[in-house]
Structure 1
Amino acid sequence: MRFLRAVLSAAAATLPVLVLLLIPQLVHGGAGSPGLAALGGPWLNGLFLAAIILIPKINGALDPQVPDWTSSTAMASTTRVWRTRIWLAILAALALLAVFAAGQTAAYFVGVASPAIVDGELIYSRFLVQELVVYVFGYVLSLAVYTVIVRALVRPEPDPKRRKR
């Protein structure tokens, strides 16, 4: 159930990415002017980076675990993970990149099997399939995996009353 909520959180965080992916001129150089396609790449990267940063807050709202993982405390908990358990947090980021690369690769093979541009004409249905594969298996799944791992790494805040002096 927690993974399903992480997937829903990732889908909510990456909705702007989906909107951008559905505009062929911004993501496919052969579908329009190359200048627009050159703008689409940085926009996609920026929106995905924003989604990576904001996913704890969104997941905290959709799947709270009091007190360490709510909408208001999830960002601080994630920061604490990155400060105290850096190597495990880096492994979570590498897992995100690995799943993202696998999604990109799957979309590449879909594109090779069924190209979106045939005889200089864009076939939007084929384009849509490629972009949905990228979105679901690249962006959403990678962010869900990252969220689940980071969430598992969050330790409760130590109680200051219980500290030994």
Structure 2
Amino acid sequence: MSIFDLRLETARLLLRPPCAEDFAAFAAFCADPLPMRHLGGVQAPSVAWRSLATLTGSWHLLGYSMFSVIEKDSGRWVGRVGPWQPHGWPGPEVGWSIVADRWGHGYAPEAARAAIDWAFDTLGWERVIHTIAPDNHNSQAVARKLGSQVLHATRLPPPHEVDVEVWGQSRQAWLARR
């Protein structure tokens, strides 16, 4: 089985590796200032293409990366959630970003739970982190719902170079809550 055949399912969502067909929705997401506020700012389509290619390339290089999040009922691309650890990153992260018109529907914690389970069960991670801007109260609320807590502060490596809080938990703590 190819990594691109991988599918995780929740009650309402399908998580799968991103593909070229996701680009239009991904580019629209990257052009929206609301979700992109804490993701480095709005991206032109050419930059969004490189971002999508980076996520896809990570699947090839590492065997994991962010999943595309698809609503089961509509088939609509509604975000990206999943494991992420580029070179120089402060740890093995499961991150989330959902399109703004789906905020408040519980998609981020629902998808993140599936991705964290997969990271612990399949990738064998012993801990998981979430890098969150200090003023990103929505993501902090998601992290709390997942049982994570603030571990420390750090500065992300180039090209990001922003100060973040590192939230997270151990595999043991996650399994105790599940």
Q: TM-score, with normalisation over the residues of structure 1?
A: 0.24
Q: Which has the larger radius of gyration?
A: 1
Bigger strand share: 2
Q: Which has the higher contact order (CA 8 A, sep 6+)?
A: 1
Bigger helix share: 1
